[in-house]
Amino acid sequence: MNEITQIVVLTLAAGTPLVFAALGELVVEKSGVLNLGVEGMMLVGAVASFIVAARTHSPWLGVGTGALAGAALSLVFAVLALSLRANQVATGLALSLFGIGLSAFVGRPYMSVVIEGMKPVSIPGLSDLPVVGKLLFAHGPLVYASLALFVLVHLFLSRTRAGLVLRAVGESPQSAHAIGYDVIGIRYLAVLFGGACAGLGGAFLAVAYTPAWVEGMTAGRGWIALALVVFATWKPWRVMIGAYLFGSVTLAQFQAQAAGVALSSQLLAMLPYVATIVVLAIISRDAAMIRLNAPASLGKPYHPA
């Protein structure tokens, strides 16, 4: 494998957890709901997938469980923020804190367990092609799944009637309600989808990327995913660009260390967080553009008459 191919493969893998989590949150926010619990849902997805993968020796069962666990946690958010009309910011924060605690609690016995992670696909013939073989046909299966998710989310939001309804609910829940759509029901589905995606992102980390369970192993990726949605001005294709940019920043840190850059590992590890702050500031600077692109009812509870 030559170096460029390797960098592409590694960057895609590093960006994939962000792709899952940010695409899910994008759909949630398009419906007008702000769920700040992404970090918690990712961690719960990660620990659930790891435990199941360790017990059943099936990474795929683990990944499925991770998605379900993320969705289950997001249901708590939905009940509080949608049915009981709690403050979305506070509820989302509670979800993250709870998810961090829950994952640390149930994951404790699995801290030093070793599992066999997911293998990259290998398609006889295609994967062995020179140059493009490894570039196109040698990623992990979940990397392909994340790309498929992007296509689906993009088509759903821009080409389907259901996607149009979802966006209408996010822009003007009153109007959507007036023409007969079940605003709360639609928002429930969006939140559950977002939870499942965050769970998938966590599962990818725990059973494919690392593979291991470490407390707090998402290391802020849930929060970076939230920033990515703003960075992407709520457009799926820009989420992809952002996720891979951050993937490459994460890698640059390891590459620099390997290349013997005379900076300590702690200072280099600050890079993704500082980059998030800088990028967020640059994008948010244009307040008018944010207002234009953000779903109009984002974060506001909806009270049916």
User: Where along the sequence are the contacts to another protein (CB under 8 A)?
Assistant: 36, 76, 79-80, 84-87, 89-91, 93-95, 97-102, 104-105, 108, 215, 219-220, 223-224, 226-227, 230, 264, 266-267, 269-270, 273-274, 276-277, 280-282, 284-285, 287, 290, 303
- CA 49 – CA 132 distance, rounded (Å): 32
- CA 176 – CA 277 distance, rounded (Å): 35
Q: Give SS3 for 204.
A: helix
Least distance in Å: CB of 150 to another protein? 22
Q: In the complex with another protein, which residue's Cβ is closer, 102 or 251? A: 102
- CA 244 – CA 7 distance, rounded (Å): 11
Q: In the complex with another protein, which residue's Cβ is closer, 116 or 216? A: 216
Least distance in Å: CB of 188 to another protein? 16
Least distance in Å: CB of 122 to another protein? 36
Least distance in Å: CB of 213 to another protein? 13
Q: In the complex with another protein, which residue's Cβ is closer, 25 or 157? A: 25
CB 41, CB 178: distance < 8 Å: no
CB 81, CB 301: distance < 8 Å: yes
Least distance in Å: CB of 232 to another protein? 14
- CA 156 – CA 160 distance, rounded (Å): 5
Q: Which of 37, 44, 26 is nearest to 217 (CA)?
A: 44
First to last CA, the chain: 62
CB 28, CB 192: distance < 8 Å: no
Q: In the complex with another protein, which residue's Cβ is closer, 2 or 265? A: 265
Dihedral (CA of 157, 61, 106, 247) sign = negative
Q: In the complex with another protein, which residue's Cβ is closer, 56 or 87? A: 87
Least distance in Å: CB of 281 to another protein? 4
- CA 61 – CA 84 distance, rounded (Å): 33
Least distance in Å: CB of 109 to another protein? 9
Provide the residue type at 268 as one letter. Answer: L
Q: In the complex with another protein, which residue's Cβ is closer, 208 or 232? A: 232
Q: In the complex with another protein, which residue's Cβ is closer, 258 or 281? A: 281
